[in-house]
Structure 1
């Protein structure tokens, strides 16, 4: 049995461009148009999951994806506690020591939300469930979820989380069996060869 997973990062919105911790903002006009232009570029999926964030739901709708096949609680956005809705620059100016700790220690959550370690563990549980399912799973998820998957699949140290860039509207593909995954890193949707079946 081979499991295939395609992770799609959301199209752009003002929060992504300004490095703002998710504030519930909608896609901007350019992001919505890019997502709509990529509709039909994804292969058929046996299961579709969508993070509960506004930008992920709007991206999935613009891509023409059918409703979710199951709950996506483990694919929720990173819980940033009291930093939610603020930019990284704002938080750094107000709490420089807390930001430094957060960036240096994967177990730290000075904002009162989830640490990098907690996020990676949550996402790993979801991916383990996917590994037991035959066929293709497609999920529209926040960039930090993609980063956590990449770190986990590669067996990289949690500190590597900060070294993974995930562009808007990109496909990251996994295929594997028995908990061993192969990784094809994100290609922008709507370009030749994007999200082809592995």
Structure 2
């Protein structure tokens, strides 16, 4: 039995554009247009799941996907930093940002530590390894990072070394909790150049 998991990152939103900690904003017009242009380019799947966020739900809808909301695939809870830009937090709490970026077990912002996110997503991926067929998952960028960390047995300190750009697909193929990774590529459709 081979399991395939295709992770799709959300289309561009104001928070992604501004390097602001996600606060529930929708995808922007350009992001929505690019997602609509890419509709139909993803492989057929047995199941489709979506992170419980506005931008992931809107991205899935624009791609023409009807997915179930998966609470276990929620993005990283950054506590009191939600809605603030990284620059704002860095200016107000420089030591805290340094610690957050270097210590995966730290959660001084009052949210979830990166290590816990990686463990939570790892449990989900372990279940997927015993599930036949393809799963499409429209998920937050940090969920993609955590999935790759777990799939490749990387240390959690590698989490911030993985860049996930909007509206890209990252594919995993595996069985028995052993995964192969196909690095993310942009989702493009026939009209993608019209939205540039």
Q: Same fold (TM over 0.5)?
A: yes
Cα pair 2:2 2:175 within 8 Å, conserved = yes
1:108 aligned onto 2:106: yes
TM-score (norm 2): 0.94
SS of residue in 2 equivalent to 1:173: strand
Runs of 4+ with deviation above 2 angstroms: none
Shift of 1:67: 3.2
CA RMSD of aligned residues (A): 1.1
SS of residue in 2 equivalent to 1:45: coil
SS of residue in 2 equivalent to 1:21: coil
TM-score (norm 1): 0.93
CA distance in 2, matches of 1:100, 1:190: 36
CA distance in 2, matches of 1:67, 1:181: 23
Question: Structure 2 stretches of 5 or more lacking a match?
Answer: 191-196
1:90 maps to what in 2?
88
Shift of 1:17: 1.1
1:19 maps to what in 2?
19
2:63 maps to what in 1?
63
SS of residue in 2 equivalent to 1:129: helix
1:155 aligned onto 2:153: yes
SS of residue in 2 equivalent to 1:34: helix
Shift of 1:191: 6.1
CA distance in 2, matches of 1:146, 1:134: 20
Cα pair 2:47 2:67 within 8 Å, conserved = no
Q: Deviations over 1:24-68 (max 9, x none)?
A: 111111000000000000111101000011000000000000232
Question: Structure 1 stretches of 5 or more lacking a match?
Answer: 193-198
1:33 aligned onto 2:48: no
Q: Deviations over 1:134-189 (max 9, x none)?
A: 00100000000000111111111111111100010000000011010000010000
The one of 113, 126, 129 equivalent to 1:128 is 126
